A and B are shown apart, each in its own frame.
Chain A
Amino acid sequence: MSWILPPSASTFASDIDFLYYVILWITGIAFVIVEVGLVVFIVKYRARPGRKAEYIQGSTKAEVIWTAIPAVTVVVIGLMSGGVWNDVKGRNSVPAGAIPYGVHAQQFEWQISYRGPDGQLGTGDDFTVRNQLHIPVNQPVVMRLTAEDVIHSLFIPAFRVKQDAMPGMTIDVWFEATQVGEFEIACAELCGIGHTTMGATVTVHTADDYQRWLADRVAAADR
């Protein structure tokens, strides 16, 4: 029953997680104040013989305080969020030199395309793998996300990546993995009968392993 986010493995994950913990603390404090306050009032002001309630209409001072403090708090959270949002999803957020991949979402598979030896995505020497994304570690990558039929959503929890795949649009999703290993991909938008089976895997390789894997795949595609 944890409030701690699962381990992450991408560069911007820590920024997102930090925001989460800030909000967790702030809302946690507000939660305690209100709930404890309610319990105290329930006990302290319960009806007992001989007591009378106080005829109080309100307090302008109180209204100002409990308007201003929440207002300032949420505005601060908003401003803190803005920077991270711009870094992750902004118009110019994709780092220069990010390796492009095609991610085509369809009922109920992910078709991942890799650029072939010519180094260009979208040319004849590209090859496609079903449900497997292989990327090198410590290297920005960008998914050119498309959808064949209905709205799907590319969700990689460990990288704190999520982006809806919209038919008719190509959306760039960038991230940079910081650990070698295998991580899960899920579809996060109801897309039909097989929505539950749209799992896939990201394998993060060392730079050398990645080149070896690529070479193997290119050779296999040629055969």
Chain B
Amino acid sequence: MRRFLVASSVFVFLGCGGGDGGSGGGAAAVDPLGNASITGAISFVGTAPANPTIDMADEPDCEAKFTGTPVDPIVSVSDGKLANVFIRVVGGLPDGPYPMPSEPARINQDGCLYSPRVIGAMVGQPIEITNSDPLLHNIKAMPTENRPFNISQPRAGMTTTRRFNTPEVVIPLECNVHGWMNAYVAVVDHPYFAVTGADGSFTIGGLPAGTYQVEAWHETLGTQSGEVTVEADGSATLDLTFGG
């Protein structure tokens, strides 16, 4: 009897170790696949459409965070460079497993706007959503491939952490208390993505040598594609342009 108990405990522990690590925590860390990187800039050519103003008269705590009239930065162009573009590798990758980004993806509700407006996350990567405003925001996610959620954060400083387990480009986030508040979460099954800042630049690192197809996505301007080849430990440039 004693021998049986010892033997079966061993099997139980073995069985536990290799279990599903899908929702974070249990999976063993994966080393980076390489050191190469793709860099570049996303440009906008033509006259940028005017972004709508936001009537925040009813939200003085948010309105106070703006110097002028609040504007919804849907198409954010400065010096010909386009911000809030989500770029990812869509082809040419070796098979996984891929390393999970070490930090959670973060998105903030600040001044009654989501910032950043666009973020990328890997499947299973924690996404931290923080309320920086002293008022109620809710976060409504309406994915089609993942489980939707609709939760609220009534106080400043509150943070919620969520994960998506299925790739989906892109999942819209809303706040219904402030109907103009939109954000986009792009969920990918690998970590080779980036979002452009105000200067339009991006870097995707940790790649092995190879030729990669890349797609850039903007919430209203559609997508642009390109292809780039990188040497091992090297860097290659890919610039893409969206038109007006």
Contact = CB atoms under 8 A, between A and B. Distances in A.
Interface of A: 106-109, 111, 129-132, 192-194, 196-197, 200-201
B176 A108 contact: yes
B68 to A, nearest CB: 14
B177 A108 contact: yes
A56 B176 CA distance: 66
Contacts of A196: 136
Nearest to A200: B58
Contact of B176 (A107, A132, A200): A107
A109 B138 contact: no
Contacts of B55: 129-130
Given A108-B176, A108-B177, A109-B179, A194 B58 contact: no
Interface string B57-79: 11000000000000000000000
Contacts of A131: 57-58
A197 B136 contact: yes
Contacts of A129: 55
A111 B180 CA distance: 12
B177 A109 contact: yes
Contacts of B152: 193-194
The 5 closest A-B pairs by CB, nearest first: A107-B176, A131-B58, A194-B177, A193-B152, A108-B177
11 contacts: A106-B176, A109-B176, A111-B179, A129-B55, A193-B138, A193-B150, A193-B151, A193-B176, A196-B136, A197-B135, A201-B58
Contacts of A200: 58
Interface in B114-157: 135-136, 138, 150-152
Given A193-B150, A194-B138, A197-B136, A130 B58 contact: yes
Given A130-B55, A132-B57, A194 B136 contact: yes
Contacts of B135: 197
Contacts, number: 37
Contacts of B136: 194, 196-197
A131 B135 CA distance: 16
- The binding surface of chain B is classed by DSSP as loop
Nearest to A191: B176
Interface of B: 55, 57-58, 135-136, 138, 150-152, 176-179
B177 A197 contact: yes
B21 to A, nearest CB: 32
Contacts of B176: 106-109, 192-194
A107 B176 CA distance: 6
Contacts of A193: 138, 150-152, 176
Contact of A132 (B58, B151, B179): B58
B173 to A, nearest CB: 14
Contacts of A130: 55, 57-58, 179
Contacts of A111: 179
Nearest to A128: B55
A196 B152 CA distance: 12
B55 to A, nearest CB: 5
Contacts of A132: 57-58
A196 B177 CA distance: 10
Nearest to B179: A109
A128 to B, nearest CB: 9
A132 B59 CA distance: 12
A106 B179 contact: yes
Contacts of B58: 130-132, 200-201
A109 to B, nearest CB: 5
Contacts of B177: 108-109, 194, 197
The residue among B58, B135, B178 with the most chain A CB atoms within 10 A of its own CB is B58
A201 B176 CA distance: 18
Nearest to A110: B58
